[in-house]
Each structure stands twice: as structure tokens, then as C-alpha cells.
Structure 1
């Protein structure tokens, strides 16, 4: 019902309620992640922060599992009596190599689940699952399923008491689905009801499932340009050494051998893969199937609960596009492609934006060579623009922010919507211009603001390094300012008047302190470094 009027809630009210519910769930989770990320930043270099590399760490664990699994398979014997014995041989007789490989296989598998679960929760808290990102989220459903299928079938192969328990409970659950001619669970109630073909089938599933998983992971990343699938070398080495030490100190071992003539009463579970199995002792198979359908169904349709209100996609202005491909290279979401020129101009190609993939981050605007405020004409138009945030609007906001500054040292702060905001303590000396992503800022704006006297110093801020809301905005901005990526900041721009401070929403006080210190350092610089002090009007000025 509509609050206060008694009328039934319409689609708009329902959608708004869903938005509010999701925000209530996301906000505390996001706050926890931000705090933990900040703590980890004190322990690790920014690039090594594990929470910034969850996807890459998951891939790294996959490769450890694959390599160790191949080695274990060499010594594994398929058969009712041979399987357990071969595992015990590796664990006890060849503990120094095969035993370590088995333990690595086990612990890397657990770590992969851990990183996957944290990755899911973190992406949800950051609202990175709706809009153009729906495909990546949706393909996470089969990834989840095949990871657990791979792990559970691996436990069957050990053929100890735990494997017996897992096999019986799994098949009892599968028997509820009326697609099998006879009961599968009946194969595990008597010693003579099982033969070696069972292990052949399990080996097949345990090998094929990870291969299918790898294919799905490839599909999962198809809408991500230049995905990072390898963690930083130092972090990877640290993780591997940690797993190796764990394997030596606490090696993976088997429980007692399976005995189908007895009922398993006590087992030690791997809670990462088998944590829900105790429910099979208390819930009916039908109830668990219903719960699984609800959970995975909800997971799959979450991008529609509710759909993200999307800003208009970036638009290419052909009159100002020379087909340089910079926007294609810089787009983090593969939303821009090149095609043959359609307007007859003497350029090889033109950029085309796919509205279904564009998230309106503006990084493409910052990469365009025509995105310069040094223009003789009044209509500042770039080769690619955000309809809701034109480059002319960015220039106008910059001029307005400059006009609001008073005092001896004036600081202009360029920041992003997801990042930190400045507080009232620095309001007298700093004014902020925000944009969807700091990657939207063309380097020419810094040159223009300083050379035209809009500010004495420029602060560039945005998401923490390694944690950009739009993946590469901070990276590309750093590269442009360091003259390692086009468009580059001109050499003539005094770097002493530029401060980069990457900060999350909870780092506002730290940003204020950094701005205060920066303003003091700028005030002590020689007067000649200030460059020209002529204020521009909104139509800009030629680059003299």
C-alpha cells in the first residue's frame, strides 16, 4: 500500500522500495570492506591489497589446483580398494612431494571458494552487478555451481568415511529429481553394490568440470577489457608460500577408509565445500531443492532487483573524431569499437559506442585528444561526450569553482563521485569539481586551470589505488600525468603544483589534511612557477 494514502503500491513505489532495501543491505557491508581495505593498505602496498585482487587470486588458486591435481592424478589408482590406498601412499610415503601436492590441492581449492565468496559480496556491496555489468554477474552463477561440483567430486575420490557420507547424501538428494531410472543412493548401501566404474565416472566428472569452469570463466570476462587475471607477483608469491607452509604444518589427511557395511556417524567436514551437508540430515530433499532454486534464481536475477537507473551512454561526435582509437583502448568495459568511416572524411575509422555495455564513466572523454579547454570557439565539444555531463559543463563547473575561491592560496580539487569529499575545514582554500570517474578528466584541464590562473594548485583525487569503481580510471589518470599514456600532461605544467591523493569515501579527513599541507607548500613556491594569472571567460582562450 502507498504510505498514508491507502492506495496499492505501483511499480514505481515497489522499485523505490527495492532500491532502499538494497541500499540498507549494501551500506554496512561496504563500510566494513572500506575499513578492512584501509587496514590492509597499511600492511600491503596498494597494488598488493588482497581485497583489490580477489578475482586474480581466484584465478591463481585455480592454476595451483590444476597443477597439483595433475601431479596427484599421476599416482592415483581408480578402484574401490585402490583409491584409498594410493591416496594414503601419497600422504605418508611420499609426503615430501605428492603429500605436499595433495595438501596444496586441498587448501588452494578452499582458498578459491573463500576468494570467490568475498568477491561476490564485495561486488554486491559496491553495486557492481547491475546495468551494463549484469552479464558478468549472471555468468557467476554457473561458476559457483561448477566450483562446488569440482570440489565435491574430488572428495568422493578419496573414498574414506567422509567420501562415503558425501556420496550417500549427494545421491539421496539427486534421487529426488525424477530423471533417473533407479535409485543412485542404492549403490552406497551395501559393499557389493558398487564397482570400479563409479571411480571412472567420478574421475571423468572431476576432470571435465574444471575444464568447463575454465570456459565459463573466459565467458565471464568477455565484457571486461584487459581483465587482470594474474595477481601482482609479490602477492602471488606470498599466497603460494602461505599455502606451502600450511601444507607442511597441517597436511591434508584422509579419514578412515569407507565401509559400506556400516553407517557413517562422525565425520570431519571441509566447511568451505561441505558446510551445507548437515542440512541433508534435517531437511527433506525436496526442501533443499526448493532452497537451491530460490537461492540461485535470486542470485541470477539480482541485476533486475531493481534494474539500475542508467545514465545515457557516451556519444561519438563524428565532426570531432579522428579515429585515433584511444577511447577504444581506454574503455574498461569493451563498450567502444572501431568501424570504417561513415562520413566520407579522410580518416581510417570512427568510434562506435555500444549503449548496452557503456556505464557512462567518462573515461573515454578523458582519453580523447580533442577534449581540450584551450579552444578558440565557444562550443567546447569533444570527439566523444557524456550527454548528461558534457565537456563544456566540466569547464563551466571548473570556472565556477575557481570563482568561489578566496584567500591567498587557491586550490582546485578534481575528484570522482565514488571517492572522498572535502570538508568544511578547507572550504576557504579549496573547491571541488566532481565527475563520474577521475579518468574523465583530460590532462589539458590541469594545464588550462593553472596557466589561466584559475588556481594556484591542483589536487587530483579519486578511488584508492587498485580499487577504482570503474576499474582503470585511477590507472589511466596516473599514466597520463606521468606521460606514459596519451593524452599526456604537458611538460611545461609545474608538477610542484599538482597533488595526487587517492582516497575512499571514509578518507575525507585525510584528504583535507593533505590539501592543507599542499596549500602550505604551494604558498612557499617561487612566484614565477605560477605561470600566467589571466582569468579565462567561459568561451576559453587560444593556447598561446
Structure 2
């Protein structure tokens, strides 16, 4: 489900390739971990899985003799075999945990555990299902008999009937080909990304806010190299960067309250720098004088397509690219109100874009919105890109409240 969700939301390209790529081996380890648990029971189902697995491995011809021959004689199973099973059942999940650590190593502040409500609900559901339809073992394994009827776990054992029907070579081609295809998806087709953010050392004081807010660990703080009296400076790893612009919104020097010639910040997106951002804001203010300026992201509600009198839109890669000082600027320049419209709270394209913006507005995260800005003139709307009607209704309601 996690894989399908990330794919459907297109969250596997660009700087996200590493998490996607390292997630493919985790699928193999997940199935190996689950199947090893079935082996430990050593019933008829375990016998079927063990024999099928060994026959599948024998197709590769990497062993001197067919490994499946060890499961043909009733007396071939020894204590050493079951000791090996226990070791595999412990080692594979441990290696799976290690692979999961590698999977999230490039992600800043990864969320490993589900919300408490989801965890409790899932646990209660599993307990209820175990009581309603408990998992019942088959009869004891008997290598001297032919298995007649089995109740397969179709999640873990789907490939075994495929092996019986198509043969080992076809199954290896399917498994390896499918894995390679999944691993290559971030580059199919190739995409052209904008340039990564650039650090302007003359305006960077090494505060580390961009480092703290980057959702993908694309920014590191390094010792100062330009001789200015600051301990650190920010450096951008372009390979990890998703070009969301959250770092720009976090920079304390990203302020529109300057002359245009001096409008430079500590870190900026080359294709949408802070000077260009203020130009877009000024254009929106001119289109709807005294009206509502709607700031939206590229993946949330489509504010640029909204047709509403007295409203104008500014579109950014992520709403958290907008420094709170720009909201102050818009209100000071005569905007009746400012609406921030971004992705759903639980599905932000850039993980923490919505959360960081909300925290800045609420004064819980630097840089925060100044207290002099009337809060009734600032509204947020978190929704998906298909909720156009809801966006229009929220904007009209905001306009009514401002009257």
C-alpha cells in the first residue's frame, strides 16, 4: 500500500529516487521474513512452501546437487535443519530492519510509527479477525505423502501457484524483471528538474533554519569558508533536493521589505528567486486591490484556475516556500486577506510543507508571522488538487468574513 501510494502521488522521482530504489529490496526481505515464519510450523503448508522454494532455487543451478532432494525422504529432516530455520527467521527480520534504516537514512525526521489512533484501530481489527477467523495450521508435514489440499496465504504465497503453472524460469523472469522495472521507475521517463537552491554566503548567517526544515536532508551545515564572523554555512546536496523551496521560506533574510535591487536572501531557488516571488505577489495585489491574495502550491488546490472576483493567485512549488514576512507585506500593501491553500495535512507533497507553514503562522516555528498581522485576515485551506469546488467555497466564505 505504501508503494502504491507513493507511486500514485508521484513521490518517487528526483531527490526521492533513493528511498524508492532502496525500498525494492525491502519487498523481497518482507516476503522472506513472512515465509520463514510458515516454515517454523512445519506442517503440510510449510512442506509445500519449502519444497517449492528449493525447486525454485534449483532452477538457477548454483548448487552442486538439487537442494529439493533434501525434502524427498521422510528421515532427511534433522535438528540442525530446524535450528537453521530459527536462525533464518531471526536474521531475516533483523536484516529487514537494517534495510528500512537505509531506506529512510536520507529522510529528515522520518515517521516510522503510525498515529496512535491508527495503531490502536489496526491492532483491535487484527485481534477481532483472529477471533472471528483464526489461522489454523495444517496437518503435520509428511515427506512421504503427496499433498492433496492446502489453504494458501495468498499475500505471501501467490508466486507458488505461478511456479506450478509456469515453471521456475518464467517465475524468475517475472520476479527479477518486475524488481528491475520497479527500481528503474524513478528514471522512466527521465525528467528535467530545475536547478537546486543556491546559498548566498553574503546573506547567510549559518542559523541552520533551512537545515532544520528541509524534509529530505538535502542541506548540511559546514564550517565557514568565506571569512565572515559566523561559525557555519549552509550547503545544498542537489541529489537529495526536491526543489520544494521550503528552505527559502525558512531563511530569516527572505524578506520583501527591501528595494528590488537589494532583494537577496541567504538561500534561493534560481528559477524562482525571492525577487521573482515579490514580483508575483505585487502582480496579484494589482489584479485584486483590496481583495484576497491566494497563495497555493503546485500539487494542492489549483488556485491559479480559480475564477473569483476580488481574488488573485500566486503559485509556488510549496506553500512553505512563502516566508511569513510576505504575508505581512501583502497585508501592509493593501490586501484584504491572504489565503494559504496547500496539500492535505496528511498528504503533503513535500512531507512537512503544510505542517511548517501552520507552525509559522501559529508562532511555533521560526520564522513566525509577526503579531502585528491581524489573524482574521489570514486563512488556511488544506485540500487536494481535485477539490476545486471546496476551494471556491472556502475563498468566498473568507471574503464574506472580511466584509
| TM-score of the superposed pair, with normalisation by structure 2 | 0.97
**C-alpha RMSD over aligned residues:** 1.4
Shift of 1:377: 5.6
List runs of 5+ in structure 2 lacking aligned partners.
none
1:473 aligns with 2:353: yes
Shift of 1:376: 4.2
Q: Deviations over 1:232-271 (max 9, x none)?
A: 2222122112222222232222011111111112100111
Question: What residue is the counterpart of 2:120 in the other structure?
Answer: 237
Partners of 1:189 and 1:460 in 2: CA distance: 68
Change over 3 Å in CA distance of 1:240–1:197 after alignment to 2:
same
List runs of 5+ in structure 1 lacking aligned partners.
1-117, 524-544
Q: Deviations over 1:51-88 (max 9, x none)?
A: xxxxxxxxxxxxxxxxxxxxxxxxxxxxxxxxxxxxxx
Partners of 1:309 and 1:509 in 2: CA distance: 32
Question: What residue is the counterpart of 2:311 in the other structure?
Answer: 430
Shift of 1:192: 1.8
Correspondence 1:52-451 to 2 at 5 A:
118-376=1-259, 378-405=261-288, 410-422=291-303, 426-451=307-332
> Which segment drifts farther, 313-322 or 290-299?
290-299
Q: Is the 8 A contact 1:426 1:515 kept in 2?
A: no
SS at match of 1:505: coil
Partners of 1:197 and 1:308 in 2: CA distance: 52
> Which segment drifts farther, 258-267 or 458-467?
258-267
Q: Deviations over 1:266-324 (max 9, x none)?
A: 10011110112111111121111122221111112222212331110000001111110
Partners of 1:163 and 1:460 in 2: CA distance: 56
Partners of 1:347 and 1:390 in 2: CA distance: 24
Partners of 1:279 and 1:500 in 2: CA distance: 51
Partners of 2:38 and 2:50 in 1: CA distance: 9
SS at match of 2:49: helix
Partners of 2:44 and 2:349 in 1: CA distance: 46
Q: Deviations over 1:5-45 (max 9, x none)?
A: xxxxxxxxxxxxxxxxxxxxxxxxxxxxxxxxxxxxxxxxx
Q: Is the 8 A contact 2:304 2:314 kept in 1?
A: no
Shift of 1:402: 1.4
Give aligned pairs, total.
Answer: 403
Partners of 1:215 and 1:307 in 2: CA distance: 30
Partners of 2:170 and 2:151 in 1: CA distance: 25
Q: Is the 8 A contact 1:313 1:355 kept in 2?
A: yes
Shift of 1:425: 6.6
Q: Is the 8 A contact 1:423 1:509 kept in 2?
A: no
Shift of 1:185: 1.1
Partners of 1:464 and 1:395 in 2: CA distance: 26
Change over 3 Å in CA distance of 1:397–1:178 after alignment to 2:
same
Shift of 1:153: 1.3
1:464 to 344, 352, 357: 344
SS at match of 1:139: helix
SS at match of 2:315: strand
Shift of 1:128: 1.5
Partners of 1:192 and 1:459 in 2: CA distance: 74
Q: Is the 8 A contact 2:254 2:323 kept in 1?
A: yes
SS at match of 2:339: strand
Partners of 1:433 and 1:270 in 2: CA distance: 51
Shift of 1:439: 0.9
SS at match of 1:378: helix
Partners of 1:234 and 1:210 in 2: CA distance: 26
Question: What residue is the counterpart of 2:373 in the other structure?
Answer: 493
Q: Is the 8 A contact 2:303 2:314 kept in 1?
A: no
Q: Is the 8 A contact 1:311 1:359 kept in 2?
A: no
Partners of 1:219 and 1:370 in 2: CA distance: 35
Shift of 1:134: 1.1
Shift of 1:184: 1.4
SS at match of 2:285: helix
| TM-score of the superposed pair, with normalisation by structure 1 | 0.72
Partners of 1:189 and 1:277 in 2: CA distance: 18
Partners of 1:198 and 1:253 in 2: CA distance: 24
Q: Is the 8 A contact 2:323 2:367 kept in 1?
A: yes
